[in-house]
Structure 1
Amino acid sequence: MEKDNDREMKTGKRQGAFDWKYFIRHIAIIAVPVALQNLLTTTGSMVDTMMLASLGEKTVGAVGLCAQFSSLMFAGYWGFVGGGMLFFAQYWGAKNDDGITRSFGITLSFMMTVGIVFSFLALGVPGFIMNIYTDKSEIQQIGISYLRIVGFAYILQVLSMAVSALLRSIEQVKIPLYGGIASVVANCLFNYLLIFGKFGFPRMGVRGAALGTVLAGMVNLLILLAFILKNRIPYVLEFSRHFRWNREFVRQYLQKCFPIICNEVLIGVGNMMINIVLGHQSERAIAAVAVFRTLEGLVIAFFSGFSNAATVLVGKEVGAGNHEVAFQRAKRLVYLCSALIGTACLGVIAVHNPLLHAMGLSGESYRIGTGMLLIYSLAALIRMGNWTQNDTYRAAGDAAFGSVMEITFMYVMVLPCVYLANYVFHAPFLLVFALCYVDEPVRYIIMQCHMYSGKWIKPVSDEGLKTIEEFRSRHGIKIKRKN
């Protein structure tokens, strides 16, 4: 790999060429296992939805709303994942083992705090949560019974996510894939046994789906730990070194994480507000939204692979001081992402008819679900490009720019448009849904300008700091200095 890096540095910096062969090969090495893992997870969610569809549209809608609460938890801890991967990738490129271990310790501590809070809310006040998301009493009761069990899975999911983020950042992408495969198989098996009461197991209905999620989370974590022990991978189990923090390290970590945390939390709250609007529609619309979110995961599965590729392929080079390579890679990642997302969207549209029917939609709910997929397929081309650029900036050390853009447009443009369309103008549901993406084209143009400016390369490692001024001088990049 070092020889490949040297070759790319020579061709990229001295001859002006770009090593596409190395680039595509390493995107595949990193992105494909991650995308495959998420694709399998989404497929598992689709199978779950198909099983729950036999219990009725209200059950599908209730579990879909519970998934939105899980997404809010995801937003709460993803800021620490993003910040952690910034440090993991750059320290990996700089070959700083102690930096990786300390970064993992502080990342895990913050993530677990979020997981414990959400687990407490799901187990302790599920009625309060469901009352926020919908005013349909029957859907609320179904959701309450689901949350009272699935809350136990949250801590397991947070632990697995922290470990997986570290493994992907150090280019051990196959281990999370194995854990994901085992988790999906376990989830489908346990759901089948517990939802329908097969082979002597009790027939638990929606509570069986929740318990299956808990058991699958246990399987995933155990598989990850087993491979870590087998391959003797450091960092994860070095507990005595996890908490060797000093004030300067914590300050630097939180300084990089803070914009990402604000981004994820505020965007999570904004999405919750949008989901509240969508959750107060007709029961058929609620069911369509739940199914759509599952199919949306198919597209996001492809994106997540590129997200991790951007973090590792760009962050590693910034950490190693190879800023020109990072700069050239980043610009190409965005366009490759859009091309792949377009392919994924076409694939979903091609098979949407049998999928929507298999997941319990018919009549009006089928019409709404089809409309949502068509709208999203157009929006995703730009939306995922924005996400890729934001992840690239974060990996290179610029956690603020993309976060400020996303938060600003969410609260200045998206939320006002959605609320006015729904509550003031009483617009059709699909128009309200389309306005959820009204900011994406404008933000894409701004993000592209920032991409080509090169100002987002801000290393945290000593090796990266040694060569950053040379890179900025070569490209005429001027950074305002803080007094």
Structure 2
Amino acid sequence: MDIQNFRKAVFAIAIPVALQSMLQSSFSMIDQVMVGQLGKKAIAGVEIAGKPAFIYAFIVNAICTIAGIMIAQYIGQKDHLSEEKAITVNGLVTIVFGFLFTAISLGFTRPFLHLFTKDEQVIREGMKYLRIIGYSYIPLGLTSLLAVPIRTHGKSPWPLYVSILSAIINTSLNYVLIFGHFGMPQLGITGAAIASVISQLVSMILLTFLFLKLYGAFHPSLALGKKRTKQYIKMLAPVVLSEFLWTLGQSMNTFVYGHMGTSELAGMSLTGPVQGMLIGALSGLSQAAGILIGQSLGEKHYEEAYHHSKTLMRYGFIGSAVLAVALLIFRTPYVGIYQVDHHVQSIGSSLLLVFAFLMPIKVENMILGGGIIRSGGLTHYIMFIDTIGTWGVGVPLALLSGLVFHLPIVSVYLILSQEEVVRLIISIIIFRSKKWMHTIN
């Protein structure tokens, strides 16, 4: 594929995926902005109660990554039967993890929240949210998974349209249920959770319909065969473990913020939605890498895959630099939306300043680790990178700077984020070695 056709293919995938990811991030942003009108206790409660969904979403992302690798390479090999098996197996794994996280959220609600804060009001608010949002996990997982084959077959706008409708439903229900408009009861944080569950259910139903429309006579099968089952486990286990350990590390950071104080936790919570929105704006490049580089590897066009990977990294750097400048300009008006005291707003604004400077590094890590290096299926490289970055650097620095030396939260965030620098250095070394380039047989 020449560079002009490659560029067209990238944007055909990346733009709809980016818009969809931003809309998905808008769920949490809408929840945070509207719940933010209820005060910092409610904001902190939603932040903590959202952790199981946060961890599950990243595990689902790992499963979807493996599904995308398999589907892309099987498309390159023109093996439709194996493609259907890959979708079925990854769908089952997604549902199993969904049941597990739902059981944890509903069965251990208070003990889980108590890990992050001793503030009883924050815990009570979080319990209202977690006991309902747990029902959204399986719809969320299936929605994410079904979008993968649809997108890989060149129908990226379809999941985007579903996300637009889902975002409209979520926003409308938030307005009605949180504040009690149009004769409905004022449910506060509970209303936000109900709105999210309903919107996720709608997304799942619509994407199921579109998936069946695309595939027609779909033949579900778990019969990968002994060789491919071993290969699948070898791909899946490292990336799921990697995502779990990474999200667990992020939860450890939240543990540190929560024990630094409710204002610190609320200030960090303000930044989460906008961080997700901006990273989501460039997540399409990571998805494009997984699909297009995976197809090149499936066809054994290794030099083409390497050359196109460098092009994607350049796009990521330029895009992240532009968005970082925009964030520097609009960070103060953004935190001003929330009905919290000036101290919390100041914390949020300062944290976004740090994030803006780190954004190009984070985006390059996302494209390399989340797309390029994974596309060959040798996912143990990603587990190595993420484990060293998160548990060798990030978590120890967070615990030391936050709970031992009691530094301000902005300093803690800057220090622990050096894990991103370490992760990028290791990723570049692995990328340049070309050992990640592999064809699934």
TM-score exceeds 0.5: yes
Report the equivalent of 2:139. Answer: 156
Mapping 1:303-382, distance limit 5 Å: 303-382=282-361
Mapping 1:105-120, distance limit 5 Å: 105-120=88-103
Report the equivalent of 2:248. Answer: 269
Letter in 2 for 1:322: H
Shift of 1:260: 0.7
Report the equivalent of 1:437. Answer: 417
Write the distance in 2 (CA, Å) between the matches of 1:242 and 1:200: 48
**CA gap 1:170/1:212 in 2 versus in 1, 3 angstroms:** same
Shift of 1:442: 3.1
Report the equivalent of 2:51. Answer: 68
Write the distance in 2 (CA, Å) between the matches of 1:403 and 1:339: 27
Q: Secondary structure at the match of 1:152?
A: helix
Query: What does the per-residue CA deviation read over 1:8-48, in whole Å, with 9 as the maximum and x for residues that have no partner?
Result: 2xxxxxxxxxx2x2222111100000111122233343232
Q: Secondary structure at the match of 1:142?
A: helix
**Of 165, 171, 183, the match for 2:166:** 183
Report the equivalent of 2:150. Answer: 167
The answer on 1:88 being equivalent to 2:71 is yes
**Of 231, 234, 243, the match for 2:215:** 234
Q: Is the 8 A contact 1:179 1:221 kept in 2?
A: no
Report the equivalent of 1:416. Answer: 396
Q: Is the 8 A contact 1:331 1:452 kept in 2?
A: no
Letter in 2 for 1:149: I
Letter in 2 for 1:173: S
Q: Is the 8 A contact 1:160 1:220 kept in 2?
A: yes
Q: Is the 8 A contact 1:64 1:291 kept in 2?
A: no
Shift of 1:361: 4.1
**Of 269, 276, 293, the match for 2:272:** 293
Write the distance in 2 (CA, Å) between the matches of 1:43 and 1:383: 20
Q: Structure 1 length normalisation: TM-score?
A: 0.88
Q: Secondary structure at the match of 1:358?
A: coil
Among all aligned residue pairs of Structure 1 and Structure 2, give the percentage whose two residues are the same amino acid.
25
Q: Is the 8 A contact 2:27 2:196 kept in 1?
A: no
Shift of 1:102: 0.5
Q: Is the 8 A contact 2:70 2:86 kept in 1?
A: yes
Query: What does the per-residue CA deviation read over 1:204-248, in whole Å, with 9 as the maximum and x for residues that have no partner?
Result: 11111110001101111122123234xx3128x73x433223222
Q: Secondary structure at the match of 1:241?
A: coil
Report the equivalent of 2:123. Answer: 140
Report the equivalent of 1:32. Answer: 15
Report the equivalent of 2:25. Answer: 42
Shift of 1:60: 1.3
Mapping 1:432-471, distance limit 5 Å: 432-461=412-441
Q: Secondary structure at the match of 1:133?
A: coil
Write the distance in 2 (CA, Å) between the matches of 1:362 and 1:117: 38
Q: Is the 8 A contact 2:94 2:138 kept in 1?
A: no
Q: Is the 8 A contact 1:90 1:319 kept in 2?
A: yes
Q: Is the 8 A contact 2:94 2:141 kept in 1?
A: yes
Structure of greater Rg: 1
Q: CA RMSD for the aligned pairs? A: 1.6
Write the distance in 2 (CA, Å) between the matches of 1:360 and 1:319: 52
Shift of 1:328: 0.8
Q: Is the 8 A contact 1:168 1:308 kept in 2?
A: no
Query: What does the per-residue CA deviation read over 1:169-228, in whole Å, with 9 as the maximum and x for residues that have no partner?
Result: 333211110111111001001111111121122221111111000110111112212323
Q: Is the 8 A contact 2:257 2:265 kept in 1?
A: yes
Query: What does the per-residue CA deviation read over 1:247-294, in whole Å, with 9 as the maximum and x for residues that have no partner?
Result: 222111111112211211111211111111112222221111111011
Query: What does the per-residue CA deviation read over 1:78-123, in whole Å, with 9 as the maximum and x for residues that have no partner?
Result: 3322222111111122221111110111111111111111111212
Which range moved further: 36-45 or 244-253?
36-45
The answer on 1:99 being equivalent to 2:82 is yes
Report the equivalent of 1:214. Answer: 197
Q: Is the 8 A contact 1:292 1:372 kept in 2?
A: yes
> Which ranges of structure 2 fall in alignment gaps of 5 or more residues?
none
Shift of 1:397: 2.3
Query: What does the per-residue CA deviation read over 1:283-339, in whole Å, with 9 as the maximum and x for residues that have no partner?
Result: 221111111011101221123111101111100111122222111111121121121
Q: Structure 2 length normalisation: TM-score?
A: 0.96
